[in-house]
Structure 1
Amino acid sequence: MTGLVVLAMGKVENILPENTFDFSEKLPTVGGTAMALYNSLFAYAGWNFLNFVTEEMKEPHKNLPRAIYLSLPIVTIVYVLANLAYFIVLSPYEISTTEAVAVSFAEKYYGVFAFVMPLAVSMSCFGAVNGLLFTSGRIFFVGAREKQLPAFLSYISVKRKTPMPAMVFTCLLSLLMLLSDSIWTLVDYISFAQWFSVGASILAMLYLRRKHPEWPRPIRFHWIVPVTFLLFCFYLLVVPLYTEPKGTGLCLLMVLSGIPVYYVCVAWKSKPAAFERQQD
């Protein structure tokens, strides 16, 4: 609301500078746009996590679409308005030089109440981490239940009824990732792996939809929706591989390294009995 109020007061010089239509500056590249989308889409990644816990939802075929239809527009509107407010209040120089855009925005207009902004950001981060722990732990839990990961990750706490080993494992992996010296490199790696997984899932869904049309599908969309989404995933994967081959290529190799592990530990059905006992 602050941004809209300031805009209504006539402050437009930051979003409509004199050289708005001066194209002499270097325009964004296709590859640079893809990498920039990694950083922005990372903030919207929560839309996908509810799919991981559909097993625990009541009437998921009804409540899952409802949650998506309600949450996506609300989050999109709030985030877009927040970023619009930053661009209205702060100059391009201030945005490019500050370490925390939201804090600088609050300090400029909220005065003694500027502390509200870092507090709100902390609460948002806490909520995001809580959602990630709740959903991501279920991935390892289900993988172990399907014998794709060590069996201990499928154990459930008797007291709390939660997959505690899987959640602890998720926490340890998160702490390991924090050893990275660049948060942006980490975001790029995670985003590439995430969109690779999402794209593969959509491709598999289209294949199964054609291969097994008789299977029950409580939630259905016209084929144009997944195909359009798949094209967007293709752009986010192929373009960064060309423009940033070192970072994205390394991430791709790490993801593909799971294929031989899958064939040895899961697809190989005639394993020695001793190996099977160790897995169980």
Structure 2
Amino acid sequence: MLVLTIFFLWDIYYESIYNSGIGSAHARTGDVLAFIFNWANTFILQPSSVAILCLTFSTYFLSEVMDSTTNNPLSVALAFYSGLWAYSGWSSLNTVVEELKNPKRNLWLAIVVGLSSVIILYLLTNISYFTVMNKAALLSSDAVAVTWGEEVLGVVAHALPILISLSALGSANGLTFTSARYCMVGARYGYLPEVFSCIQKQRLTPLPGIMLQTILAIAYCIPSDIDNLINFFSFVSWVFYGLTFVATICCRFTKPNGYRVFKVPMPLIIFIILISIYLIIAPVISDPNIGFLIATLILLAGLIFYYLFVFRQMQPKLMKQINMFLLEFLDLTKAAVNIEA
């Protein structure tokens, strides 16, 4: 697959440069990366996020974050995966910008207030854990929050697993709301079949995207391995976080006079890129497993699909027939773009 992917990329860039000159390579790179990002969100990031939350809901799971601690810098990256997963909701609101009122104000406000609130709550929660329990109790507990509840809340602690599951269910509901928008926007650019750019006429929701994400999330739930699923998700997400900041540096030079709502300091950009490289490479070295391989293969498969269906614009008759059937069966219509300044 790697050899095939390299061949397709060579053909894409050779033809682009041959027909339009060397300047087209930059635009083609952006298009390829945009497709792969949409591909990864559709088939990895969003459904795996929902699957993680569903597994949490179904098992009332609380990970043993204090168990098997280590000073190995390579192994610490895996701990960061679990920790950063807890804050990963900051990027979800970006997917529904066109449905926000006054997004320039409200998007920034929601992210800052929401993320700050979560950080404060998490810090206070951990301070409370260490205040009530000693190190031995923390390390021996299978569910730290439940152990804390038994010490502080008494019989009320039995409600904690239910509250945790409800919290996970609410998060899964929010992710389902946002994840289908990736499919819809990707389909508008021709990255996915046309049917995914449509919404249900009565409910005005991207029903095809929701159905696809639900099916994929169920598939990711089948192994019931929440730790590897978090690693699977985090590995791919940090690949694209890093690429996003690399693209930011490129835009500084290729579009120096472009309009920017805010300008990220260059030292911060470089720092995030270095962190991304660390969080991509270190886990693979310290704990290589099939999840990282599967994620890489899915990304490579995305490049192959890009070459065949976007660059070469192949349109199988079967796909057209499926599109027409789903449009009629699900009562769909093309979604109008409505972005309020």
Q: Give the Å deviation of 1:126.
A: 2.3
1:218 and 1:211 map into 2 onto residues whose CA distance is: 17
Structure 2 residue 94 is the aligned partner of structure 1 residue 65: no
CA-to-partner distance for each residue in 1:2-45, whole Å, 9 max, x for gaps? Answer: xxxxxxxxxxxxxxxxxxxxxxx985101111001101111111
Q: Say which of 235, 242, 245 aligns to 1:199.
A: 242
SS of aligned partner of 1:115: helix
Gap regions ≥5 residues in structure 1: 1-24
Structure 2 residue 179 is the aligned partner of structure 1 residue 136: yes
Q: Say which of 133, 136, 139 aligns to 1:90.
A: 133
Q: Say which of 137, 161, 166 aligns to 1:123.
A: 166
> Where does residue 303 of structure 2 map in the other structure?
259
Q: Give the Å deviation of 1:276.
A: 8.7
Question: Does the aligned pair in 1 maintain the 2:245–2:269 contact within 8 Å?
Answer: yes
> Structure 1 residues 26 and 89 mapped into 2: Cα distance closer, same or farther (>3 Å)?
closer
One-letter amino acid matched to 2:301: S
CA-to-partner distance for each residue in 1:50-87, whole Å, 9 max, x for gaps? Answer: 11122222232222222222122211111122122223
> Where does residue 213 of structure 2 map in the other structure?
170
1:58 and 1:272 map into 2 onto residues whose CA distance is: 37
Question: Does the aligned pair in 2 maintain the 1:241–1:249 contact within 8 Å?
Answer: no
One-letter amino acid matched to 2:202: K
One-letter amino acid matched to 2:84: L
> Where does residue 234 of structure 1 map in the other structure?
277
Higher relative contact order (Cα pairs below 8 Å, separated by 6+ residues): 2
> Where does residue 105 of structure 1 map in the other structure?
148
> Structure 1 residues 54 and 225 mapped into 2: Cα distance closer, same or farther (>3 Å)?
farther
> Structure 1 residues 250 and 277 mapped into 2: Cα distance closer, same or farther (>3 Å)?
closer
> Structure 1 residues 246 and 146 mapped into 2: Cα distance closer, same or farther (>3 Å)?
same
Structure 2 residue 267 is the aligned partner of structure 1 residue 224: yes
Question: Does the aligned pair in 2 maintain the 1:133–1:170 contact within 8 Å?
Answer: yes
Question: Does the aligned pair in 2 maintain the 1:150–1:279 contact within 8 Å?
Answer: no
1:69 and 1:39 map into 2 onto residues whose CA distance is: 21
> Structure 1 residues 215 and 58 mapped into 2: Cα distance closer, same or farther (>3 Å)?
farther
One-letter amino acid matched to 2:175: L
> Where does residue 122 of structure 2 map in the other structure?
79
**Total equivalences in the alignment:** 255
2:90 and 2:118 map into 1 onto residues whose CA distance is: 9
Structure 2 residue 75 is the aligned partner of structure 1 residue 32: yes
2:151 and 2:289 map into 1 onto residues whose CA distance is: 40
> Aligned residues: percent identity?
32
Question: Does the aligned pair in 2 maintain the 1:180–1:186 contact within 8 Å?
Answer: no
Gap regions ≥5 residues in structure 2: 1-67, 324-341
Q: CA RMSD in A?
A: 2.5
CA-to-partner distance for each residue in 1:201-231, whole Å, 9 max, x for gaps? Answer: 2222322232123333223322233322222
Instruction: Give the structure-1-normalised TM-score.
Output: 0.82
Q: Give the Å deviation of 1:128.
A: 1.1
Instruction: Give the structure-2-normalised TM-score.
Output: 0.68
CA-to-partner distance for each residue in 1:235-274, whole Å, 9 max, x for gaps? Answer: 11121122223343442232232111112111224x4785
